[in-house]
Amino acid sequence: MEADSDATSSIASIDSDDSNNRQKKTLRVIQAAASAVLLITQPYVDRSLCRTSMSGSAYIDELLESGHPQRCFEVLRMSLDTFIALRDCLLQTSTLSSSRGLLIEEKLAIFLHIVGRGASNRDTQERFSHSGETVSR
């Protein structure tokens, strides 16, 4: 009788060990999957400014709100009034509009930066703190 209880105890111990091993393996798989998800999604989650301390929209907002005629002309290659008139004209006569990531003023400023200065995609990324893909759109 005692031998039977020892055998049953040993079998229960083996079953318990197998269950613990399965749980440990499952936990390791879940941890590996979570690590992979974090690694893959991190570039999309961490949106800190890597190029400049001021985002492109903040830069344009500050420029337009300053209303300084010389500065506006140097940056936009036109007066502030002309920039606003061009923006309004584009809103009325084209399909250009603000989008999730870019206001129309920033889109127009990016275009003027590239055309007015012959700026490269990389230079524009730096000035407006956007990816090359965003600048190219």
Q: How far is CA 90 from the centre of its chain?
A: 27
Q: Tokens 């400049």 belong to which residue?
A: 52
pTM: 0.61
Q: What is the pLDDT along the chain (137 residues), one digit of tens a residue?
A: 555 666 556 555 666 677 788 888 888 888 888 887 777 766 555 555 555 567 888 889 999 998 889 999 999 999 999 999 999 999 999 998 888 878 999 999 999 999 999 999 999 888 888 888 888 87
Distance, CA of 136 to CA of 117 (rounded, Å): 16
Q: What is the pLDDT, as a whole number, of residue 8?
A: 59
The pLDDT value given to residue 111: 94
Contact yes or no for 129/49 (Cβ under 8 A)? yes
Backbone angles phi and psi of 132, in degrees to 5: -60, -35
As a whole number of angstroms, the distance between CA 99 and CA 137 comes to 12
Q: What is the pLDDT of residue 90?
A: 93
Residue 57: its pLDDT value, please? 86
The residues, any chain, with a CB within 8 Å of residue 135's CB and separated by 6 or more, are 110, 121, 124, 125, 128
